[in-house]
Structure 1
């Protein structure tokens, strides 16, 4: 299960932020990327992302990738960039919605440094910085 944790944790950061900043100019500006995160996830408009908002957004992203609606992302549905930079890889290159969902809280808590259940400006900037670091580590 450890290999899934590494893979899913990396995938969540990359997927959440990497798909939001489509062009390089936006990706280089943390404030702009933070604004895009808020646009996609902050459903109540309070300028913060709660765990519930994060979880719901990530489950929507999973469902959008799951073309055959079987609750599993297989090699054809699983973005190759999710594997870049992961220290361990799933041997079957599949991830279930259950495995994916099981890692959401740990990933959220990693960035919720003050433990208030909300990702705020500085925490969102750290989230964006983690994504940038992962992308820069790609071969």
Structure 2
């Protein structure tokens, strides 16, 4: 009886192990036992590049502008020739758009104020990071504009 029990146990053990296979998790090439680059793939996720923000500095060129003083603003998100133009003069906040045609160095910036004022600026970029222009406000103030990155 002991021999029969040992035989059945051995048979059950062999039957249970006969269904197991070892499967490799990675496939290897035959040369130098290194990872096969044809089967390997990787995805690199890069963070978005920071968007440039240009500084627009406006310098008074007439008495009306001199009464308001020097103005500093920003042109943000200038992608595909279109950006957001914003600044504050005294107690009035201005916001609008700055645009350029693709491949052109000349552009225009327009903004309206929260108290009813408005401004129109024309500018020319001499490089990708520098430009000059002029701005005319609705109240008659005229400014020279310098743009830099």
More strand by share: 2
Same fold (TM over 0.5): no
More helix by share: 1
Greater RCO (Cα-Cα under 8 Å, separation 6 or more): 1
Structure label with greater radius of gyration: 2
